[in-house]
Structure 1
Amino acid sequence: MCRARARKTCQSCKCTRELHDVYHEDWVNVRERLGLGDSLGRSSREVCLQEGYTWVPPGITSEQIYDYMSCLPGHKVPRLGTPGEKARERQLMLQLPKQDLALGFTRHVESQYHTSYRDFITARNDIALDIGVIQPAVQRSVDCGGCGGRIREGSVGVVAPRLGGGNATWHPGCFTCQSCCELLVDLVYCVWEDSVLCPRHYAEKLKPRCSACDECSACDDVS
């Protein structure tokens, strides 16, 4: 059991720290955070700043970036200096907690469970974790994996390569975690059965999470 005394809450109002506007993370490259490296050519940071966002889908043109962002709820668009920038920061912390991504970020996993914790991370990365791909213009009309409505030919879509033989497609605004219903931050998802989850809620399908330290148990499985 975790013996952490300090919960990740504000000492004044007791709400979680990610709800405060003062919360801030340095600029984050999700590929590097996931240990995938940044092999996309020109610096991701450079591209984002040029386009005026804290994150943009890689490999598409400025016009296609605009088309994609136009499909998202306005308050979720990660434009610099807007509420959408803060919304992305909050979701980075919530959906991609560092302690779920690498043993080195944990504080309460006892040494005898280090191997099993690493095995859990490796298995997740091998069979479930991936990043969605923007399809600037779908080649044929398909049903959205979220709302079930039609994505018309030529419209912007998001493809989850690990699901549906690589053909599962969503409206950009429908590419959300089935558990928390939030947009999957920077298109990072995990496959769970026939749906997509954020990495946090994927982990919680398999491991109980401590409400004090926010770490998943290395020794227990969800029954």
Structure 2
Amino acid sequence: MEIIVEEVEEGQPCLACVERCSGFSRHKWRNTCQVCKCPRELHDIYNLNFVNVRDRLGWKRIDDPLNCATKEDTVSLGYTWVPPALSPEQVEDYMDQLPNHKIPRIGSAGERYRDMQLIRQLPKQDLAHVHCRMIHSDIEIKEYNIFRELRDSIALDIGFVKESEHETSCYHCHGEIQGEDLVVFAPKFGKDVCWHPACFVCTTCEELLVDLVYGCHAKQLLCERHYAEKIRPRCPACDEVRDLYLL
């Protein structure tokens, strides 16, 4: 399935240089701005439309309210993303447990935070070879697709939120979880492992896992970016992961 990525980058201001940069201009192959030389991610890049994370991953949409909250329901609650299968009261309970500046309320700093994390944690060049500038040959494309297919089937998944059925502890902070507390489950870690909402973070960058998308590697919870870097080296210049024997 084709991935859907609609990022606005050209001409966007640099958040580091401010007025010294006339706007982002993409380097031919580096992941930097031709004007100010700062990394792409330091510019005010955003997603053009409402993002369903399954579209960004290239995964088939699941038309089931237990697995996917609709745009209409999400926006009606005042957010750009909400965990599916929760009542409005439970959604508010979940959001109240997150840092205020990371809550994806429409028109807030949290909306911008989510946008940045979608772009950072789920880089488009990791999701489809058409967004890579350094992959050209048939063998490179073949190896890329093998990596993507294995990652998506073995390691990458989307967590879900529901009430805990009994007293337990958080996998991250080891703090107490009471019965009926809202917690996050990640199926690839097993049915008895769960996290406080604010503890469902990448082991490497320690950011909230955007839209609950996670990778599992050696019992570590990771965003896709840092999962990929556990498996393959990432070029610091073009920001693409490569197969070791092709380097």
Q: TM-score, normalised by structure 2?
A: 0.81
2:199 to 151, 164, 174: 174
> Which structure 2 residue ranges, 5 or more long, are not aligned?
1-26
d(CA) in 1 for partners of 2:55 and 2:188?
20
Tell me the equivalent position of 1:193: 218
d(CA) in 2 for partners of 1:77 and 1:16?
25
1:24 to 16, 21, 46: 46
% identical aligned pairs: 46
Count the aligned residue pairs: 216
The 3-state SS of whatever aligns with 1:212 is: coil
d(CA) in 1 for partners of 2:96 and 2:63?
23
- Residues 57-136 of structure 1 mapped to structure 2, 5 A cutoff: 57-111=83-137, 112-135=139-162
Change (3 A) 1:220 1:5: farther
The 3-state SS of whatever aligns with 2:46 is: coil
Cα drift, residue 72 of structure 1: 0.4
Deviations 1:129-175 (A, max 9, x none): 1000101x211111101111111111110001110x22210000000
1:212 to 228, 237, 244: 237
Cα drift, residue 79 of structure 1: 0.4
d(CA) in 2 for partners of 1:72 and 1:120?
33
Change (3 A) 1:183 1:49: same
Tell me the equivalent position of 1:152: 178
The 3-state SS of whatever aligns with 1:46 is: helix
Flag the structure with more relative contact order, 1 or 2, with Cα contacts below 8 A and sequence separation at least 6.
Answer: 1
d(CA) in 1 for partners of 2:223 and 2:246?
18
Cα drift, residue 221 of structure 1: 8.6
Deviations 1:186-205 (A, max 9, x none): 00001011121000000001
Change (3 A) 1:107 1:15: closer
> Which structure 1 residue ranges, 5 or more long, are not aligned?
none
The answer to whether the Cα contact below 8 Å between 1:19 and 1:90 also exists between their aligned partners in 2 is no
d(CA) in 1 for partners of 2:96 and 2:58?
30
> Over aligned residues, Cα RMSD in angstroms?
2.0
d(CA) in 1 for partners of 2:140 and 2:173?
40
Cα drift, residue 36 of structure 1: 2.1
Q: TM-score, normalised by structure 1?
A: 0.89
Change (3 A) 1:106 1:7: closer
Change (3 A) 1:216 1:204: same
Residue type at the aligned position of 2:232: K
d(CA) in 2 for partners of 1:8 and 1:155?
42
The 3-state SS of whatever aligns with 2:216 is: strand
